[in-house]
Structure 1
Amino acid sequence: MSVQDDLTTMQRCLDDLSRSVGRLEKQLGSGGLDMRRVRADADHLKESVALLREATSSPSAPRKPELVTIPDTPYDPSLWIDTDDEGLGARDRHAP
C-alpha cells in the first residue's frame, strides 16, 4: 500500500469519526467539557492529516536541516558585564 493510499484510508476513518462525534453531540449535547474535548481532538486529527497529506504530496526531495556555523572565537566579554555568575552571587558580595 502506498503512502497516499494509507492517507486516504486514514481520511475516511476520520470522516467516520467526525460523523460519530456529531451523532454523540446530538445525543449528549455539545456543551460539556468532555464532548468539547472529543470534538477538538477529532478536529486536530483532521488538521494533522491534512498537513501530512500536503507535506507528502510535494514532489520535492526531503529538505535537509539548515546548518548553523558557530565560530570558535570567544564572545565579547562586554556582553556579560551586567550579569551575575549563576550560583555564585554578585561580584561585589560574598556568600554567608
Structure 2
Amino acid sequence: MSLQDEMAAVRRRLDELVSTVERLERELAHAREHGPPPEPAGRVSDLVTIPDTPYNAALWTDSDDEGLGVRDRRAP
C-alpha cells in the first residue's frame, strides 16, 4: 500500500469519525430537548432487596460447600 493510499484511508476514517461525532451531538441535543425516553411498560426494577435475616439452615442440609466439596469430608 502506497503512502497516498494510506493517507486516503486515514482521511476517509477521519471523515467517518467527524460524521459520527456530529450525529451523536445531534442525538444528544435532541435528547436534551425532549428529555429521557419513557420507561417501557411493565418493566421490573433491576434492584432486588436482600433481607438481612439469616437463611433457614434447613434449606442447606444436602448442599455442598462451593469449592470445598461435600460437608464432613476432606477437600480434594
Q: Same fold judged by TM-score > 0.5?
A: no
Q: Of Structure 1 and Structure 2, which has the larger fraction of its residues in helix?
A: 1
- Tell me the TM-score normalised to structure 1 length: 0.33
- Tell me the TM-score normalised to structure 2 length: 0.38
Which has the higher Rg, Structure 1 or Structure 2? 2
